[in-house]
Amino acid sequence: MADKEKRRSGATPPGMPEGNATKSDSDREFLSRAGVGELLRGAILKMVEARSDDPIGFLADHFCNLASVSETGTAGYSDVDHFSDGPLSAGAQEQQHLNRALWHLRLAHHSQRSAFSNNVRVAYDLLNLTGPLRRSGEVPQGPDVSCTDSPTEGGGGGGGVKGGLYTQTLQCLCSEGGVPASTSAPLLQRLHCQDHEAVPYDIFRHGVLTCAVFSDYIRQAQRLYAEVCCPDEGPASRALCLSVLGTLKEALETSQGCEANVCDNSNMKVNSCLEGNVKALCYLEASAKISPYRLGQAMAGAQARGPGGNMDAKEFENAAAELFITRVKVVS
């Protein structure tokens, strides 16, 4: 690879292949002219960063994306002359941007903080670009430059992502995460933005992170239901489900109450070390409420005196989702 890098400065931009390659070209010269070294290096770097479980699928997606970059470039180039085609390719291009942004967002799990933040930034910049009316001087930079460079040329990019595009991103994230539309509807109600609004980066990141966390949360709730109910005996008892969710609700309220306390006390001269201790104590107290011992007690108690009847999986999921969604701040 090293000698290919030395020759990189001499290679022509790979978006414009030479028509007259002489037959006496050595293999190395051919490869360096095509810029394959850079191409493969970019692909491997991306793969190492994403660490996906399906390397072949990942590479296939990666090269598809790169191919669509050069397609978009040429499509935009020709559309400057064809205004009648303008609105159609605008919509199609938006969809393409959306797909690429979603691909980036899928690369890292939200728990991998810095990788996830980088990807959100890239996705935001992708969606932030304005429509197909690019200047004809913008030549596609080719597949060796990853999409992070596009914002520098997209200086005409708007002051925010279109509200409709943002809402679509969130919907796709939720459905890809395995959340049924009816469950995610109340969440999207809180997070969505109108089409005429321009979404700034902070709100975009907040929405994306919330949807990613929510899909994990719902999957966990589904697993929880499976644990609570004995599968061969049909749906779980209502009392049991309510008691389990009740302990979660208590824990959430405890940690929320402690945050309120800390804010109230900020007038007093409590130094930051003490404040940190108080918060830590609150978290400990909240987590003690969902300890196995307390849970065992709650479940035993519920069995004895709770309401009768059963709760099916859907209702359980909705109840769990409600606990989460009530704590999501409404975008305003």
Partner 1 sequence: MFRCCIGHPQTLETFGAEGLRDSRKPRLVACSGSTLDHHDSNMLHSPHERVAHKDDVAVMAFLSFRLFQIQEITFKNYYTAYVTVRLLRRSPGHEAPAKWSTALRDLPLMDNPHTEGGSQDYCSVHRAQMQVEPDHVTSVRLILRQPSSAWLTFSLEQIQIFPQVPPNPEKEVSDWLSDLTLGDQHPDLEGLPDPQTVSSSLQQMWALTEVMQSNQTSASIGRYDVDGCYDIKLLSLT
Q: What is the DSSP string of 263-277?
A: HHGGGS---HHHHHH
Token pair of 304 as six digits = 């004895």
Between 136 and 287, name the residue whose CB sits nearer to partner 1. 287
Interface with partner 1: number of residues (CB under 8 A): 63
As a whole number of Å, the end-to-end CA separation of the chain is 52
**Least distance to partner 1 from the beta carbon of 160, Å?**
8
Of 122, 142, 118, nearest to 39 by C-alpha is: 142
Question: Of 69 and 298, which has the nearer Cβ to partner 1?
Answer: 298
Residues 120-159 that bind partner 1 (CB under 8 A): none
Q: Show the binding pattern over residues 225-264: x = contacts partner 1 (CB under 8 A), - = does not.
A: --xxxx---------x---x--xx--xx--xx--------
- Of the pair 60, 281, the CB lying nearest partner 1 is at 281
Please identify which residue in 214, 238, 306, 316 interacts with partner 1, judged by CB under 8 A. 214
Phi, psi values for residue 229, rounded to 5°:
-90, 150
Least separation in angstroms between residue 126's CB and partner 1 is 20
At position 283, the amino acid (one-letter code) is Y
Task: Give the separation between CA 32 and CA 41, rounded to whole angstroms.
Answer: 13
Binding characters for partner 1, 49-88, by CB under 8 A (x = yes)? ----------------------------------------
Q: Which residues contact 212 (CB under 8 A, 6 or more apart)?
A: 105, 109, 110, 116, 173, 177
Q: Does 316 bind partner 1 (CB under 8 A)?
A: no
- What tokens does 244 get? 């389990």
Site membership for partner 1, residue 176 (CB under 8 A): no
- Identify the helix (H) or strand (E) that includes residue 237: strand 236-237
What is the distance between the alpha carbons of residues 184 and 322, in angstroms, rounded to a whole number? 10
x-or-dash string of contact with partner 1, 267-306, rule CB under 8 A? -xxx------xx--xx--xxxx-xxxxxxxx-xx--x---
CA distance 266 to 279: 13
Taking the C-alpha atoms of residue 130 and residue 162, their distance in angstroms, rounded to an integer, is: 9
* Tally of CB atoms within 10 A around 81: 8
Residue selected from 7, 121, 190, 205 as contacting partner 1 according to rule CB under 8 A: 205
Q: Tell me which residues touch partner 1 (CB under 8 A).
A: 110, 193, 197-200, 202-203, 205-206, 209-210, 213-214, 216-217, 220-221, 223-224, 227-230, 240, 244, 247-248, 251-252, 255-256, 265, 268-270, 277-278, 281-282, 285-288, 290-297, 299-300, 303, 320, 323-324, 327-329, 331-332
